[in-house]
């Protein structure tokens, strides 16, 4: 496709939307998504062990046999984001030259970070560095790049570099690319805020038919597979939508997280931790080529159990985070969008992981009085806090952080699923949002109590494989769209 106009013919897309029980839905997407999701749920409830075995084998197969593909896609997407940001295409403003942002930079970044991986950094900010440090001290295939047996200083560098690698540029690039694609076609080409829209340069009017429905179903299924509980608390936030609910909670959480970060820094080896930020950035850049290598790895245990698993998870999560990014990024330039969605959260993540991770590793090297190294992954954060003053207060604050990050994440996810199954509409009634909130939240609770949640999680990870291929075509479609806008400027 060489010539475009801002108003692309959408044919009769949207005409098939129906109103059911007060909900506006696209049956071609809603029904298959609902049927497949319910089928998985019923299978998990009726035969939990069989379903767990099936979905676990699917996840292991996807991660083991397509490890090179997941890593290659991550590398390509990161290079795409950097190239677009530094090229003349970076000057393009989402929504046109006269568009202005709806949110301040603080509100915008707080929402981006909260929806992306805020809860993960809080939960794994201690556990992952400690795990990688211990495995690096032991050495072998389960350690990052084979580890550094017996060398505490080198093991620390490897542990922090590997942890930062899993949580920084690559995953945020995956999110940012999807968000940019959706924003460009929604705001600059007046297309629905929908995954299918970014494929218009490749498929033409076919995106309004079955091909587009298939893309939407795959994206929606990956999001439904992500758990939701705490439905009542989340309702209090989703009731206010983005402007009040998500924005206020996100800003609150950023300030609370910042206060906790300062407390750890002030009560720990302050100067050493500040110096570690720079050294960890250097270590990350030093090991980046080796950690990004998709083939012939000598650390298969670490590569499969951590990096490739994470990549599949980030890709499965990307339609949700990407669509939410797009919804709040009107009026930003492409370059500003990439800086806010790629560089800023990466830097914040490095600071967070350094202060929590290095403080924990220092505790272990000093004798590990609290038993941090032997604690389970879900307890290591609290064991580390237990070695510092006011442990009960900081532990309570950490639990609140995790809960609010979860609420804002599912709050955002409810709005995204609602948009996807409503044909790209963003002005559906409150009743519809609440129905999605309670339905998927209830599913999460039922599966959690019945033991079937692992099946749904494994299914979401397995969905990352076809989505990884979709991302490559999404990048190509986005590039064509940006180039068309650049020619018209």
Q: How many CB atoms lie within 10 A of CB 271?
A: 9
Q: Tens digit of pLDDT per residue, the chain (489 long)?
A: 434 555 566 665 555 566 656 666 677 777 777 777 777 777 777 877 787 777 778 778 887 889 999 999 999 999 999 999 999 999 999 998 889 988 888 888 777 776 656 677 777 888 899 999 999 999 999 999 999 998 999 999 999 999 999 999 999 999 999 999 999 998 998 888 888 888 888 888 888 888 888 888 777 766 665 544 444 444 433 344 444 445 556 666 677 778 888 888 888 788 899 999 999 999 999 999 999 999 988 899 999 889 988 898 888 888 878 888 888 899 999 999 999 889 888 988 899 999 999 999 998 988 876 788 888 777 788 888 888 888 888 887 877 777 666 666 666 666 666 666 666 565 666 666 666 666 666 565 555 555 555 655 666 667 788 889 999 999 999 999 999 999 886
* CA–CA gap between residue 156 and residue 147 (Å, rounded): 10
38-52 pLDDT, tens digit each = 777 777 778 777 877
Q: How many CB atoms lie within 10 A of CB 172?
A: 26
Report CA-CA distances (Å) from 424 to 152, 211, 214, 317, 429. Answer: 52, 16, 15, 18, 14
Q: Is 473 exposed, middle or buried (0-12, 13-18, 19+ CB in 10 A)?
A: middle
* CA–CA gap between residue 489 and residue 478 (Å, rounded): 17
* CA–CA gap between residue 176 and residue 91 (Å, rounded): 16
Q: Can you give the pTM of this predicted structure?
A: 0.84
pLDDT at residue number 226: 55
pLDDT at residue number 145: 94
The secondary structure element, H or E, covering residue 337 is: helix 334-338
For residue 414 the two structure tokens come to: 């409810």
380-413 pLDDT, tens digit each = 888 888 888 888 888 878 777 776 666 666 666 6
- Return the closest-CA partner of residue 55 out of 453, 469, 467: 453
Looking at the chain, the whole-number percentage of residues with pLDDT higher than 70 is 74
Q: Which residues contact 430 (CB under 8 A, 6 or more apart)?
A: 239
Residue whose structure tokens are 């494929």:
199
* CA–CA gap between residue 59 and residue 309 (Å, rounded): 9
* CA–CA gap between residue 208 and residue 181 (Å, rounded): 17
* CA–CA gap between residue 134 and residue 353 (Å, rounded): 16
* CA–CA gap between residue 356 and residue 115 (Å, rounded): 21
Beta-bridged to residue 18, according to DSSP, are: 25
For residue 375 the two structure tokens come to: 């604690």
Q: Which residues contact 223 (CB under 8 A, 6 or more apart)?
A: 317, 319, 320, 413, 416, 417, 420
- Pinpoint the alpha helices (H) of 422-463: 430-450, 453-462
Terminal alpha carbon distance of the chain = 18
**DSSP category for residue 102:** S
Residue whose structure tokens are 């218009």:
200
* CA–CA gap between residue 172 and residue 318 (Å, rounded): 9
Residue 372 near residue 93 (C-beta atoms within 8 A): no
Q: How many CB atoms lie within 10 A of CB 480?
A: 17
Residue 231 near residue 437 (C-beta atoms within 8 A): yes
* CA–CA gap between residue 409 and residue 219 (Å, rounded): 17
Q: What angle do CA 478, 481, 487 make, to 5 degrees?
A: 140
For residue 76 the two structure tokens come to: 């390509």
Q: How many CB atoms lie within 10 A of CB 209?
A: 14
CA-CA-CA-CA dihedral for 143, 352, 241, 244, to nearest 10: 170
Q: Maximum distance among all alpha carbons in the chain?
A: 69
pLDDT at residue number 353: 93
Q: How many CB atoms lie within 10 A of CB 396?
A: 12
pLDDT at residue number 316: 81
* CA–CA gap between residue 410 and residue 398 (Å, rounded): 18
pLDDT at residue number 63: 79
Residue 225 near residue 447 (C-beta atoms within 8 A): no
């Amino acid at each position: 496709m060489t010539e475009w106009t801002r108003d692309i013919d959408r044919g009769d897309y949207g005409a098939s939307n129906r109103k059911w029980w007060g909900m506006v839905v696209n049956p071609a997407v809603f029904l298959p998504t609902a049927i497949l999701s319910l089928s998985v749920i019923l299978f998990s409830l009726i035969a939990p062990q069989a379903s767990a075995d099936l979905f676990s084998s699917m996840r292991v197969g996807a991660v083991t046999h397509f490890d090179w593909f997941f890593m290659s896609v991550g590398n390509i997407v990161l290079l795409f984001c950097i190239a677009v940001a530094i090229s003349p295409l970076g000057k393009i403003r989402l929504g046109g030259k006269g568009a202005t942002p709806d949110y301040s930079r603080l509100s915008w970044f707080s929402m981006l970070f909260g929806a992306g991986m805020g809860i993960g950094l809080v939960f794994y900010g201690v556990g992952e560095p400690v795990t990688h440090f211990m495995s690096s001290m032991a050495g072998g295939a389960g350690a990052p790049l084979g580890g550094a047996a017996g060398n505490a200083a080198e093991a620390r560098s490897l542990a922090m570099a590997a942890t930062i690698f899993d949580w920084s540029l690559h995953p945020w690039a995956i999110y940012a690319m999807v968000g940019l694609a959706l924003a460009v076609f929604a705001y600059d080409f007046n297309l629905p805020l929908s995954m299918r829209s970014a494929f218009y340069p490749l498929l033409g009017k076919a995106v309004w038919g079955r091909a587009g429905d298939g893309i939407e179903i795959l994206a929606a299924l990956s999001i439904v597979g992500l758990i939701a509980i705490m439905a009542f608390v989340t309702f209090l936030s989703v009731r206010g939508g983005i402007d009040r609910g998500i924005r206020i909670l996100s800003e609150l959480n950023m300030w609370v997280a910042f206060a906790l970060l300062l407390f750890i820094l002030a009560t720990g080896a302050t100067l050493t931790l500040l110096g570690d930020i720079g050294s960890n950035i250097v270590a990350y850049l030093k090991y980046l080529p080796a950690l990004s290598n998709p083939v012939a790895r000598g650390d298969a245990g670490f590569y499969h159990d951590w990096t490739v698993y994470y990549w599949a998870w980030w890709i499965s999560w990307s339609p949700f985070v990407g669509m939410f990014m797009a919804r709040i990024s009107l009026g930003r330039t492409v370059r500003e969008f990439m800086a806010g969605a790629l560089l800023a959260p990466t830097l914040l993540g490095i600071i967070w992981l350094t202060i929590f991770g290095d403080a924990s590793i220092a505790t272990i090297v000093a004798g590990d009085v609290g038993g941090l190294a032997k604690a389970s992954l879900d307890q290591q954060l609290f064991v580390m806090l237990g070695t510092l003053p006011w442990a009960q207060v900081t532990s309570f604050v950490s639990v609140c952080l995790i809960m609010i990050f979860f609420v804002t994440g599912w709050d955002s996810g409810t709005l995204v699923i609602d948009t996807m199954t409503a044909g790209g509409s963003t002005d559906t009634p409150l009743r519809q949002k609440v129905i999605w909130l309670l339905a998927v939240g209830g599913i999460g609770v039922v599966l959690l109590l019945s033991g079937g949640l692992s099946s749904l999680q494994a299914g979401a990870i397995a969905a990352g494989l076809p989505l990884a291929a979709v991302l490559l075509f999404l990048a190509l479609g986005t590039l064509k769209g940006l180039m068309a806008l650049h020619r018209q400027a």
